[in-house]
Amino acid sequence: MTAKSVMVLGTTSGAGKSWLTTALCRYYANQGLKVAPFKAQNMSNNARVVTQGEIGSAQYFQALAARAVPEVRMNPLLLKPEKDTHSQVILMGQVNAELSRMAWRGRSASVWPVIAQALDELLEENDVVVIEGAGSPAEINLKDSDIVNMRVAQHANAACLLVTDIDRGGAFAHLYGTWAMLDEAERRLIRGFVLNKFRGDASLLAPGPQMLQDLTGVPTVATLPMWWQHGLPEEDGVFDMAPTLVAARTSLPPGGAAAPVARQSRFHGPGLKGSGNGTSSYGPPTTIAVVAYPRISNLDEFQPLKNVPGIHLKWVRNPGELAGLAPSDWIILPGSKHTSGDLAWLRAQGLDSAIAAHAGRGGAVLGICGGLQMLGEALIDPHGIDGNGPGLGLLPVVTLFEADKTVQHRQARFASVGGPWAALSGVDVQGYEIHHGQTAPHSAMAAAGDVAHAVLPGGLAWQNGSGNVLGVYLHGLFEDPAVLHALFGASTPTLESVFEGLADYIGRHFEAGVLDALIAPAPGRAT
C-alpha cells in the first residue's frame, strides 16, 4: 500500500499542531484505515521508550491514537536540550554523539536521508500517515536547512492544514503572512486554514475568513472552540513556564553558574507512624507542587494528577510558592535533562532551603529520575556526561554517571513502603527508564546506620529512614491505574477515552467532508 499523507503545520509553536495531529490519527483510524504518525524532527525533553530506543512523547501518544505500535521511524530525529546552546541528538532512537557535536545547520545533509527513508517506509506500509510540522514553515532563515516542514510536505505530497492560535490575537495576519512567505509550489499544498482556541461567537469572525480566502484561495475549514481539559498531555508539560523560566535564567550569574552554596544538612526527621511497614499517618495531599526547573523532562507524566479530584497541581519556580504546604502535601522534583545544571538553578532560586524545610517538618518529597539524583548526597561524573557536585542530602545515596544511557521499559513490585506512599506497598507497577547514571546507597553513611531503603528492585527506588523522602527512577508512575487507585482511591480518564473525545471533537467542528477529502485520490507524491 502507499499511504495518503495529511500534514499539520502551525503559524507558531503552541498553535495546536500536536493535539490536532493526535486527533487526526484517531479520526482516520476510526475509519478502519491503517494509520501512522510522523514528525521528522522534534525538540523536546519529553520522551518515551520504544523497542528501538526513544522518541518524542507527542509521537508516542499519536501512535497510540492511531492504534499503531510506537516506533523510532515515527520520530527519526529527537533533540533533547541540555543547555541553551546544546542538545543531545537522538537519531532513530539512539544517542548520536557525532551529531550532538555538529553545528545545527550542518546536521541537515547528514540526517535527511535517514528521515526520508523512515517516511518512505511508513508511506509504503500504511493507508494514511499524519505528519506534524515544527514551529512555523515560513522561517526564512532556516529554509535552506529545513528537514521538518515544507521539505517533508513536498516529499510526501501532503495535504496540509495550517493551524493558528486565535486566542493570541493576529490570527488572520499569521495565516496570511505564513502563506505569503511560502513558495508557490508549497502554497499549493495548503488545503485549509484552522482557527484554534476560539472563544466567543464564531459569526463575529466574518468577513475575515472569506477575505482571507479571496487573498489566498485557501478556505478556513474549521473554527475550533477553546477546550481547556481535553485530557491529552501538553507536549511541553507546563502551560505557562516560558516567561518565568526566561526570568529565572537571567537570575543566574554570568555564564549560568550558580553562586557557591553549602549543601543542605542531612534530614533524619521526626518519627512517622508506620514508617516502613506499609501504614502511614499521612492523609492524602491537597497540593502537589512540581519544581519546574529549566531542563525539566517528561513532565507530561503528571497529566493524570491534574484529573484527580481534590488535588491542586501547581508548577513551582520560587520558594514563596512552597509556603503554606502541609506535611501531607507533596513536593516533586521531576526528571531533568541536565541534573547538575538544574540543581544549580534550584539552589540559585533558594528552592533547596525551602525543600529541606518542608522535609524537616516531615513533609513529603518525591524525586523522579533526575529528581532522585538531586535528592542524594553527591553526583559523581567521571565521563563528563552531566557534571559533579553535592546533592541536596535528603537521601543517603550517591549517583555515578555512566557513559551508556539506560533506556528501557520496566515492571516491578513495591516492597514495604513507608510514609505518605505506604499504600504502594505490594503494588505492581510499570513504567520506563531514560537516564544516565546509576544510584546506590552511600556506603559510609550506611555503615554509620543511615541506610537508604530499597523499595523497588534493581536500584529503581530508594526511601529515607523516616519514610517522607522517596526517590524513583521509574517514569510513568502516575499513568499506572494501580498507583492512582492506591494513592488516591481515584481513576482518571483513560487515554482511549481521550483519543475518542479528540476524534469526535474535530469530526464535529471541521466543515463537512473536509477530513475525508484530505485523503481522497491525488497526484503521486514527489521524490
Q: Which residues contact 159 (CB under 8 A, 6 or more apart)?
A: 4, 5, 6, 7, 189, 191, 518, 519, 522
Q: What is the pLDDT of residues 62-75, one digit of tens each?
A: 999 999 999 999 99
H/E segment holding residue 356: helix 351-360
- Of 369, 435, 442, 453, which is the active-site residue? 369
Cβ atoms of 416 and 278 closer than 8 Å: yes
Q: What is the pLDDT of residues 204-225, one digit of tens each?
A: 899 999 999 999 999 999 999 9
Cβ atoms of 42 and 61 closer than 8 Å: no
- Flag whether pLDDT at 280 surpasses 70: no
Active site (annotated) includes residue 230: no
Long-range contacts of 181-184 (CB under 8 A, 24+ apart): 181/138, 181/140, 182/137, 182/138, 182/150, 183/150
Mean per-residue pLDDT for 116-144?
95
Distance between CA atoms of 255 and 250, rounded to whole angstroms? 10
Active site (annotated) includes residue 369: yes
The top-level CATH class assigned to 274-488 is alpha beta
- Flag whether pLDDT at 494 surpasses 60: yes
Q: Which residue in this structure is represented by grid cell 546509576? A: 438
Q: Would you call 173 helix, strand, or coil by DSSP?
A: helix
- Flag whether pLDDT at 278 surpasses 50: no
Which pLDDT score is estimated for 257? 32
β partners of residue 132:
8
Query: How many other β-carbons are positioned within 10 Å of the β-carbon of residue 444?
Result: 11
Helix axes 351-360, 339-348, angle to 10 degrees: 90
Which pLDDT score is estimated for 436? 86
β partners of residue 80:
88
Identify the CA nearest to 151 among candidates 190, 112, 110.
112
Identify the CA nearest to 376 among candidates 389, 364, 352, 394.
394
For residue 210, the Cα-to-chain-centroid distance in whole angstroms is: 37
- Please tell me the pTM assigned to this model: 0.78
Distance between CA atoms of 315 and 208, rounded to whole angstroms? 38
CATH no. for 4-231+497-517: 3.40.50.300
Which pLDDT score is estimated for 249? 31
Q: What is the pLDDT of residues 299-317, one digit of tens each?
A: 889 988 988 889 999 999 9
Q: Where are the domains of the chain?
A: 4-231+497-517, 274-488
**One fold for 4-231+497-517 and 274-488:** yes
- Of 338, 358, 435, 475, which is the active-site residue? 475
Lowest mean pLDDT among 109-113, 265-269, 448-452, 472-476: 265-269
Q: What is the pLDDT of residues 105-117, one digit of tens each?
A: 778 889 999 999 9
Q: What is the pLDDT of residues 513-526, one digit of tens each?
A: 999 999 997 554 44
Distance between CA atoms of 321 and 287, rounded to whole angstroms? 11
Q: What percent of the chain has pLDDT over 90?
A: 66
Q: How confident is the model at residue 279 (pLDDT cuts 50, 70, 90)?
A: very low
